[in-house]
Structure 1
Amino acid sequence: MASALINNTIQVYFASVLEMEHEGMVSMFEALLASGLSGFLGCSSAIYEAALVEFFQIASVRDGMFVSKVQGKPVTISKELFAGTFELSLEGLTDMHEVPHDLVSEARRAFSYHGKMLSTSCKKREMEFEFRLLNDILAKSVIVKAGSFDAMTHERFLMMSAIYGGVPINWGRLLFNIFKDMVTPAMRQARVYAMQICVVLKNSPDLELRESKEFPPLKILTAKIVGTYISKNRNIYVDEDEPVVVEKPAEKKKAVSKKRPAPTVGTPAVKRKRTIGKAAQEAIPIQMISAVTTPAPKRKTPKRRLTLPAGSDDEIVDKEPAVESVVEQQREKTNVDDVDNIIGQIITETTQMETDMEEPSLTRSDGIIVEITKRSIS
């Protein structure tokens, strides 16, 4: 658990960072030092892991004070004790919304990497390097609320504006309230301040703390570590603060023949319907005429002149003889067997025509079978 308490904590070695050659960084650390946070952020102490775990297990808030037990002995931390240990101011702003608006407007441009007006809720990468680092210090070691460290919150931007403009802040009250929220139910406050708690416990006369371990040196900001921080930010920073995405060259794909393989023996050929016109229109089957023998045109029976018997009063007229008369006359000139043969031949040809018209199909030279549908003949 103790490791989680110092997982994101940052401490500042002010004597080192104030000797840097980076003018912006030096100016930011000077403002942080002038705000009254040097004792809180610059304290040094060993980490007493067992004492920290025991301290948070039964911690609570009573009458505005932080109450717990370590090694069976009660530990009470008041606001005055907490502020006095780290020389925190008890005067100044307690609500960040009271930061002057003109100062916030000035900070919105001063913090910007591109010189444009920033939003008070923006991305950390949109700011100058020194203010990105200030955001990290406040997010991980002061406000320590659950959430992303890369996203600038409105509250944190106002606090940075107050530090930048030299506005007095009541750090004693503000930080002690955050300290109490760590053990208050339903609060999204992370349990941190490990270094500060160890300092308070170490100064308690009735406690004998057990084994300790050193605070990780890489979590203490020195001139060297801050220089590395700047270099890393410069390497990943590009135009419009967007990372460069290097795309891998596309691999050459082998050319795939689009030619359809010829159907093998025994594999039924896939029938396809040909369409004409636009693709959105319905497919219209090709109308084909079967190559059948067209029957010979029928001969018209020549008109005959009928002669009435002599003595008839009716006149002679030209008219189309009735079918019965034609058949009778034909039978008179033709044998009955010949007539039956002609009728049989006509029936055979008619049957063949109907068979050929029943949805024939054509096979093209490339093996595709085109379906041909029969259209009724009016």
Structure 2
Amino acid sequence: MASSLYSNAQHVDFESGLGMDDPGMVSMFEALMASGLRGFLGCPAVVYEDALVDFFENASVRNGVVFSTVGGQIVQISEKLFAETFELPVDGLGVLSEMPKDAIFDARSIVSLSGEQINLSGRKNQMKMPYRLLCDIVAKAISVKAGSFNAITVEKFSLMTAVVCGVKMNWAKFLFGVLKKMVAAKSKQAKGFAIQISLLLATFPAVELGEASAFPASKILSKKTVLRFVSINDRDGAEEITGAAKKKAVSKKRTAADIEEAVPKKKRSLKKKSISSLELVEVAEEALLHKIEQNVRDSLIDQAAVFKSLSQEARQENRTLDDVQTIRFNEFRKHVLAQNASIFIGLADVRKEVDAIHAKVDIMASRLNDIQKDAEATKEAHSNQLFEFQSQAQENHNVIHAQLSELVDYIHRGRADKKGESGSRGPQQPAATQITGSAVTPTFEQRVQMAQRRIVQTVLDADANRALSQEAAERDRERRRKEARSLKRRRKD
């Protein structure tokens, strides 16, 4: 059971303690606050029993950090997290062996009930009542030591000296060292810090802590529990004194002769006896001084104390419930904040993706504009080329027409000349060629054939150029269609 982890624990209600009528107790609580331990000893008194059992069963220390598994979730507690959670001082002595000897010497007189220096191997009843309570706090809530809580040890008194004499302590280092000893495998350190570990586990949003339970009010140092502590210690002190006196009386045995010698023999008269009896009756009536009045007064005082303690207990329970509600609200708030953070992260990712898509769309739009500009430029270039081709074709057509007309006229003239000269001419040279001097002059038929070949070649070249232009235009249109289809697919993606 997790309750065994705080069976000997103590927690401090500083507000209640500082409101006491006992200046010594108030001074002791103020010294605890001044030492920097209020955040550790007076934190909200709530425990998560299931989580505590998981924590101690699975805890270990690696590289100076406490690791454990709670509800299947890994938690790690560093000294920095420990110090920040409880606002602990991080400057000063880290080990008790460095405690100044003169401070210990002074503290032995300050806490002493008799004014003389107390014996460090004795019992805590040598000390004034507030320091007896401080000794309990040191033993149960700070050093977490098992054994006799009435005995004074050097370690406990060194911790008390730090509080009483205001010695600066690195409480973060010391208390975290106690926590590491608690979870170490071979350490004999008692388990404790139930409230503090519960609050540390509550800082991990992913850890399922289970049902929270209030820390037992009897283990919280409030006005009521401090008064009970004082009453018990007063009674124990009286019993010790009485026991010692009885022991001393028993050790001194006296004989009947000694008793007779010790009691003087007196001559008694009847008159004196009656007078003394009357006086005794009167004294008895007066004592009966008093006793009834005292009993009534004590009863009223007890009733007032009970009513006051009940009121204080009710207020303490209300504060505890408020602390529980506060912790639960903080847990709910952390859960909501974690969900909101995940939602915001998701929205940020979506926004990034949308921005990226917009950027891609803008790039594609700019590319489309470039493509359109290129297409328009290409179209304009093709239009110019087509216009030039048409102009060239028209010019070629005009040239061919002129050449054909000239050829037809030439043919007609040639035929007419042949008819006129056929009767007067003698034998002619072969019709294939005519030789003029040393050069070979093409005949009429050869010139006609050459002209025809030029015309045909011109027409063929024009047809080839037209076909090439049409093919280039078709390729350009196909390229534009492919780019348009690609852009549509990217927009859909």
Aligned to 2:123: 123
AA aligned opposite 2:31: A
Query: AA paired with 1:205?
Result: P
Cα distance change, pair 45–238 in 1 and its aligned pair in 2 (3 A): closer
Q: Which residue of 2 aligns with 1:231?
A: 231
- Name the CA distance, whole Å, in 2 between partners of 1:239 and 1:194: 34
Contact 1:10 1:220 in 2 (8 A): yes
- Larger mean CA deviation between 88-97 and 78-87 belongs to 88-97
Query: 1:74 is paired with a residue of what secondary structure?
Result: strand
Give, in angstroms, the shift of residue 119 of structure 1.
2.1
Give the alignment of 1:303-322 within 5 angstroms: none
Q: Do the aligned partners of 2:93 and 2:169 also contact (CA within 8 Å) in 1?
A: yes
Moved over 4 A (4+): 239-247
Cα distance 1:46–1:158, how it changes in 2: closer, same or farther (>3 A)?
A: closer
The alpha-carbon deviation at position 54 of structure 1 amounts to 1.0
**Structure 1 residue 122, shift from structure 2 partner:** 2.1
Correspondence for 2:442: none
Matches within 5 A, 1:223-372: 223-238=223-238, 241=241, 243=243
Is 1:64 equivalent to 2:59 in the alignment? no
Partner of 1:196: 196
How far apart, in 1, do the equivalents of 2:135 and 2:79 lie? 25
Distance 1:242 1:130 in 2: 23
Identity of aligned residues (%): 46
**Aligned counterparts of 2:222 and 2:239: Cα–Cα separation in 1:** 29
Shift of 1:185: 2.7
Which residue does 2:209 correspond to in 1? Answer: 209
Map of 2:146 onto structure 1:
146
In structure 1, how many angstroms separate the alpha carbons of the residues matched to 2:53 and 2:239?
46
Q: Which amino acid letter does the alignment assign opposite residue 217 of structure 2?
A: P
Name the CA distance, whole Å, in 2 between partners of 1:224 and 1:92: 34
Cα separation, 1, equivalents of 2:11 and 2:92: 24
* Contact 1:125 1:241 (C-alpha < 8 Å) held by counterparts: no
Unaligned segments of structure 2, at least 5 residues: 251-493
Shift of 1:96: 1.9
The aligned residue for residue 26 of structure 2 is: 26
Give CA-to-partner distance per residue, 1:150-183, whole Å, 9 cap, x none. 1111111111112111111000000001101012
**Residue identity opposite 1:143 in structure 2:** S
User: Is 2:166 aligned against 1:166?
Assistant: yes
Q: RMSD in angstroms over aligned alpha carbons?
A: 2.0
Give the distance between the partners of 1:202 and 1:60, measured in 2 at CA.
Answer: 19
In 2, Cα distance between the equivalents of 1:241 and 1:104? 28
- Match of 1:8, SS state, is coil
Task: Give the superposition deviation at 1:245.
Answer: 7.4
Mean CA deviation greater in 99-108 or 26-35: 99-108
Amino acid at match of 1:173: K
Cross-structure match for 1:134 = 134
Q: Which amino acid aligns with 1:36?
A: G
Q: Which amino acid letter does the alignment assign opposite residue 88 of structure 1? A: L
Measured at CA, do residues 242 and 142 of structure 1 come closer, stay the same or move farther in structure 2, by a change above 3 Å? farther
Q: Hey, which of these two has a bigger chunk of helix by percent?
A: 2
> Are 2:41 and 1:41 equivalent residues in the alignment?
yes
Q: Which amino acid aligns with 2:185?
A: P
Amino acid of the structure 1 residue aligned with 2:192: V
Any conservation in 2 of the 1:146–1:188 contact (CA below 8 Å)? Answer: no
Distance in structure 2 (CA, Å) of the matches to 1:155 and 1:34: 20
- Distance across 2 between alignment mates of 1:45 and 1:162: 25
Number of aligned residues:
248
What's the offset of the Cα at 1:243? 4.2
Aligned to 1:111: 111
**1:222-242, Cα deviation, whole Å (9 max, x unpaired):** 112212211222233249856
- Partner amino acid for 2:13? Y
Distance in structure 1 (CA, Å) of the matches to 2:115 and 2:98: 25
Question: Which residue number in structure 1 is paired with residue 155 of structure 2?
Answer: 155
Preserved contact between residue 36 and residue 88 of structure 2 (Cα < 8 Å)? yes
Q: What is the rounded CA distance, in whole Å, between the counterparts of 1:238 and 1:52 in structure 2?
A: 40
Per-residue deviation, residues 87-135 of structure 1 (Å, max 9, x unmatched):
0111111122322222211211121112222122321111111111001
Letter paired with 1:170? N
In structure 1, distance between residues paired with 2:57 and 2:101: 42
Q: Secondary structure at the match of 2:130?
A: helix
> Residue 7 of structure 2 aligns to which amino acid in structure 1?
N
Residue in 1 aligned with 2:102? 102
Secondary structure of 2:141's counterpart equals helix
Paired residue for 1:218? 218
Instruction: Using CA pairs under 8 Å that are at least 6 residues apart, name the structure with larger relative contact order, 1 or 2.
Output: 1
| Alpha-carbon distance in structure 1 between the residues aligned to 2:201 and 2:151 | 34
1:126–1:241: 8 Å Cα contact kept in structure 2? no
| 1:74 to 1:154, Cα distance in 2 relative to 1, 3 A | same
Amino acid at match of 2:155: E
Structure 1 226/62 Cα, relative in aligned 2: closer, same or farther at 3 Å?
same
What is the DSSP-based 3-state SS (H/G/I as helix, E as strand, rest coil) of the residue aligned with 1:66?
strand
Q: Is the deviation greater in 227-236 or in 216-225?
A: 227-236
Equivalent residues of 2:70, 2:208 under 8 A apart: no
Structure 1 residues 245 and 186, CA gap change in structure 2 (3 angstroms): farther
The 8 Å contact of residues 20 and 26 in structure 1, kept in 2 or not, is answered as yes
Quick one: distance in 2 between partners of 1:234 and 1:78? 43
Distance 1:138 1:242 in 2: 29
Partner Cα distance (2:3, 2:242) in 1: 34
Instruction: Give the whole-Å Cα distance in 2 for the aligned partners of 1:168 and 1:118.
Output: 23
Q: Is the 8 A contact 1:145 1:188 kept in 2?
A: no
Distance in 2 (CA, whole Å) between partners of 1:232 and 1:171 is 31
TM-score, scaled relative to structure 2 = 0.48
State how far apart, in whole Å, the 2-side matches of 1:239 and 1:58 are.
46
Q: Amino acid of the residue matched to residue 112 of structure 2?
A: S
Tell me, which stretches of 5 or more residues in structure 1 are unaligned? Answer: 251-378
In structure 2, what residue type is equivalent to 1:216?
A: P
- Which secondary structure does the structure 2 equivalent of 1:120 belong to? coil
